[in-house]
Amino acid sequence: ENRPIPEPGPNEVLLRMHSVGICGSDVHYWQHGRIGDFVVKDPMVLGHEASGTVIKVGSGVTHLKPGDRVAIEPGVPREMDEFCKTGRYNLSPTIFFCATPPDDGNLCRYYKHSASYCYKLPDNVTFEEGALIEPLSVGIHACKRAGVTLGSKVFVSGSYLVNILRPIGLVNVLVAKMMGAAVVVVTDLSASRLQKAKEVGADFTIQVKDETPQEVASKVEKLLGCMPEITVECTGVQACIQAGIYATRSGGTLVLVGLGPEMVTVPIVNAAVREVDIRGIFRYCNTWPVAIALLASKRINVKPLVTHRFPLEKALEAFETTKRGEGVKVMLKCDPSDQNP
């Protein structure tokens, strides 16, 4: 509350923030002070799933004006390097990213950001939907990397002690179905979470208990009547990655979305001799225009993902709620003058 209101640079906009979702990474930084090599060394503002209203534009900004409602893409390249030139700017090693040390996030009243990475929201897309474009983008990027297309059979892995409904597993279900997947099967430990997956479009669910990865793969194959061409692994847990390899059809693709330990043991020979492609994803790129078009056309509905809402003054309570694993997506409201989503 005591931070000064920033002044936008020539190619920036100043925003009055409206909706900011809490991500698992925000909670992890709050609790542990680091994620991998990214270490919090100084006080840092959290938040990277966000939308707001433009209140001031820099001298070089022409596509936005005060009053515009925008969704914020949190990753902004700092230089035009080889990755930016090929359209994969998310891989740029010097990229700015909200709430990744040492870069501040946007869980605050006022925030300035590169105008090129602020996207105007159509009138029929809410602030909350705008904030949810960030997790939705993970699903879009993952399913594109996986090659989901008409008729694909997709396995979304989320079992073994990890809640996929936070909400990366869910958005992968939504996007896979949108891209033409004929069948999507989801695994998880919790029956209630699997029910939520069915509500957003999963065709089949498997509640995992103490099965081995091979047994999980066998259950997926039996349920589908064949092995899926595509597996989207949302946990980063070793057993889930193993199950993903065993489950994926020969010549198919396994996409690793979840991040777990740096080193894991996997049946790599099994993947190699069956030509299972293993692909990673790092955040996303070029997804905001696609996501906005899908939301505006009502082809994808992300509204049910928001289960809890808190004003900015109750941020600690909101973080505690997320930490406890309650609901799906916790949303913070930063603008007290506007209570609409």
Predicted confidence at residue 159, as pLDDT, reads: 45
Model pTM score:
0.94
The structure tokens listed for 176 are 């896979």
Q: Tell whether 40 and 146 lie within a shared domain.
A: no
- The burial class, CB within 10 Å (0-12 / 13-18 / 19+), for 222 is exposed
Question: Are residues 276 and 143 part of one domain?
Answer: yes
Q: pLDDT of 304-329, one tens digit each?
A: 999 999 999 999 999 999 998 887 89
Cα separations (Å) of 19 from 26, 68, 99, 171, 278?
Answer: 15, 15, 15, 19, 35
How many Å apart are CA 221 and CA 27, to the nearest integer?
A: 36
Report if residue 209 sits inside a domain.
yes
Strand partners, 254: 231, 278
CATH number of the domain encompassing residue 37: 3.90.180.10
- CATH (domain of 271): 3.40.50.720
> What's the confidence (pLDDT) of residue 211?
95
265 and 199 belong to one structural domain: yes
Q: Residue 91, SS3?
A: helix
**pLDDT (tens digit, 9 = 90+) per residue, 19-69?**
999 998 999 899 999 988 899 999 999 999 999 999 999 999 999 999 999
pLDDT digits (tens, 9 = 90+) for 84-107: 999 999 999 999 999 999 999 999
**39 SS3 class:** strand
Number of domains making up the chain? 2
Q: Above 90 in pLDDT, residue 212?
A: yes
Buried-state track 223-246, b at ≥16 Cβ within 10 A, e below 16: bbeebbbbbbbbbebbbbbbbbbb
**Same structural domain for residues 78 and 149?**
no
Residue 74 lies inside a defined structural domain of this protein:
yes
What pLDDT was estimated at residue 36?
Answer: 81
Residue 294 lies in a domain: no
Q: Between the CA of residue 59 and those of 14, 68, 120, 311, what are the distances in Å? A: 12, 16, 18, 33
Full domain range(s) for residue 322: 12-120+302-333
Inside any domain, residue 296: no
Same domain for 309 and 234, yes or no, is: no
**Is residue 329 in a domain?**
yes
pLDDT at 245: 98
118-172 per-position pLDDT tens digit: 999 999 999 999 999 999 999 999 999 999 999 999 999 974 334 444 588 899 9
Paired residues of 277 in beta bridges: 253
